[in-house]
Structure 1
């Protein structure tokens, strides 16, 4: 007799608990599809690193309109990376995240307007080939 009552109470609590929790605050963002960025060492192309980026937007930004501009953000990133590769110094398997984020902030301001993109975050980076780093 007690067991069915406990099961019923557990079921009610399991449905009530998520409703009682405060909803998580999700900011506005634009995710950039993965992009293969070149890594150059000693003047030679040695690897590509596939990078996932997230552009965090200002609260008043029109996220839907900016998500439609994702190809423009991606194109600007590729062009910038081919002008000046973002390879991390001494590591042919990684991208220099601070330099990449700074360059993407400049490009994003040109595409979306000043103050629309609050920050750029590298969410993931994966090298095409895991290579030994060259000796200096």
Structure 2
């Protein structure tokens, strides 16, 4: 009898995280689109010196269609990659980071063109990870 009770208790403990995870997934309905990591080039004197992987969140307005815009995540990412290769977001003072104000302004403009007017609230760089540590060039 004790053995059956222990087995039932273990089964209940094993099943509870599964149900909790399902509830958490349904509760995550924020008004944003998280982009997958994007590697952006760092260019100095027309030479590639590094890549910085950035994680970006596009915050949406309360009236935005979140499901439709989350489906467009690859399009937002493509716009960021194209902008980063057209005019690299290189910081002269740090070759292991991107110019965040320039990146956010550019992506906000491009995202508004993709999503439509009144859909994009802001763009935030949540994390930056350089591929390697590069020395800052001498002045």
| Distance (whole Å) between structure 2 residues aligned to residue 58 and residue 89 of structure 1 | 34
1:103 to 90, 96, 106: 106
Q: Which runs of 4+ in 1 moved over 3 A?
A: none
Identify unmatched segments of 5+ residues in structure 1: 1-25
1:70 to 73, 76, 81: 73
The question of whether the paired residues in 1 share the 8 Å contact of 2:92 and 2:136 is answered with no
Whole-angstrom distance in 1 between the partners of 2:93 and 2:46: 13
Tell me the TM-score normalised to structure 2 length: 0.77
Aligned to 2:31: 28
CA distance in 2, matches of 1:57, 1:84: 26
Q: What is the aligned partner in structure 2 of residue 12 from structure 1?
A: none
Q: Tell me the CA shift for residue 42 of structure 1.
A: 2.0
Between structures 1 and 2, the one with greater helix share: 2
Q: Give CA deviations for 1:56-97 in whole Å, capped at 9, x if unaligned.
A: 000010111100000000000000000000011221100000
Q: What is the aligned-residue RMSD (CA, Å)?
A: 1.0
Q: Give the conservation status (yes or no) of the 8 Å contact 1:28–1:58.
A: yes
The structure 2 residue matched to 1:53, chosen from 52, 56, 79, is 56
Distance 1:78 1:86 in 2: 11
Distance across 2 between alignment mates of 1:120 and 1:82: 19
